[in-house]
Amino acid sequence: MNTAGLSPDQIKLQARVREVAAGPVAKRAAEVDRTEQYPWDNVELLKNEKLLGMTIPTQYGGQGKGWLDAVLTIEALSASCSVTGRIAVETNMGAISAVMAYGSEEQKKMAADMVLAGDKPAICITEPDAGSDANGMTTRADKKGNRYVINGRKHWITGGGVSRLHLIFAKVYDEQGNEEGIGGFLAIRDETKGLKITKREPTMGLRGIPEAVIDFEDMDVPPSSLVIPPRGLKKGFADLMNAYNSQRVGAATVALGIAEGAYQLALDWSEKRHQFGRPINEFQGLQWKLADMSIKLSAAQALVYNAARSGEGGFPDMLLAAQAKVFTSESAIQVVNDALQFFGARGYSRELPLERMARDVRMFTIGGGTAEVLRNVVAGALLKKKLPQTRDGWK
């Protein structure tokens, strides 16, 4: 796609990642989907290519790269393998970015070391009865002497069972039982008693990363595991969700990358496939389809890059991130569906990647804030009103 506005270093990065994506990553994508196994070999590859933890500041061992660098990486990887693209999201954005922005020195060092060694942190917000209305979560952390005791259930947690570091959102209560706000607690799987991976969800797509139910049963952690955002626990949820804007841009980027990959396959095939004595791209019906697909992709890419750029030195702007995710996730589903149509019956076969892409891309109007709820976020920002249905603890 277009390289307008990218620095020479970014163009180099993009070219380098595209090569990795088209080579070893593309080769493994179908198998990752079929076996539903987390691609540890690709994690190693990303680590060696210095594509994990790029956004971590240099003093903690990262490269201090910006969101747009991460976006270019995720976009290129996702065109070949969306699971690998998601690993790049969650090792550069989301939980790790919240810890690097708000954590104590000790928390930052621990999280950075784990991610740079190949751990993809899990961010635990959603509960069976608190999805879009995440503020309604019931997972609670009760202060008991010099400890917090956490109880509750989260579900649809990406990486549950493979991730070691967890950032767990919970309502925090003082010793008298008064609610203080929502905080994020760090816990390491297998080192923290009471953190249990209870079930793996059987998903439609993105099958190489587990989605899990996680139970916290009297999980006992020290106060030093609590990530306290700058405005304290009262505004804790809003600040944590502000960090989550980076993850939203990342999710939009995976959808963009998948759709770009599918579009390219359709474009190439439209020249190779002949019917009625000519390449199928000589039929105007398909030419217009290609034109519409490319327009959607260019617009989506501009929104995603713009949202990423808005976050330099902080986090992506909430309005721009929400606009980018709504438009890109919906357009990407349409583009992949159209691309599959170009292949006729072949598009419906598991021997080609189109059906996998169609299953994978479907997720992105749901996870990380649904398209409907993000429209509420957009409307709230436009109207400058605190809407109750935004999931983000507005302001």
Ligand X SMILES: Cc1cc2nc3c(=O)[nH]c(=O)nc-3n(C[C@H](O)[C@H](O)[C@H](O)COP(=O)(O)OP(=O)(O)OC[C@H]3O[C@@H](n4cnc5c(N)ncnc54)[C@H](O)[C@@H]3O)c2cc1C
Nearer Cβ to ligand X (13/326): 326
Nearer Cβ to ligand X (302/366): 366
| Smallest distance from ligand X to CB 145, Å | 29
Nearer Cβ to ligand X (247/281): 247
Instruction: Please write down the HEC assignment for all residues of the chain.
Output: CCCCCCCHHHHHHHHHHHHHHHHHHHHHHHHHHHHCCCCHHHHHHHHHCCCCCCCCCHHHCCCCCCHHHHHHHHHHHHCCCHHHHHHHHHCCCCHHHHHHHHCCHHHHHHHHHHHHCCCCCEEECCECCECCCHHHCCCEEEEECCEEEEEEEEEEEECCCCCCEEEEEEEEECCCCCEEEEEEEEEECCCCCCEEEEEECCCCCCCCCCEEEEEEEEEEECHHHEECCCCCHHHHHHHHHHHHHHHHHHHHHHHHHHHHHHHHHHHHHHHHCEECCEEHHHCHHHHHHHHHHHHHHHHHHHHHHHHHHCCCCCCCCHHHHHHHHHHHHHHHHHHHHHHHHHCHHHHHCCCCCHHHHHHHHHHHHCCCCCHHHHHHHHHHHHHCCCCCCCCCCCC
| Smallest distance from ligand X to CB 257, Å | 16
Nearer Cβ to ligand X (25/363): 363
| Smallest distance from ligand X to CB 247, Å | 9
| Smallest distance from ligand X to CB 395, Å | 18
| Smallest distance from ligand X to CB 155, Å | 8
Nearer Cβ to ligand X (103/131): 131
| Smallest distance from ligand X to CB 111, Å | 16
Nearer Cβ to ligand X (17/363): 363
| Smallest distance from ligand X to CB 381, Å | 15
- Residue number of the CB atom closest to ligand X: 131
Contacting positions for ligand X (CB under 6 A): 123-126, 131-132, 156-158, 206, 211, 363, 366-370, 372-373, 376, 389
Nearer Cβ to ligand X (75/360): 360
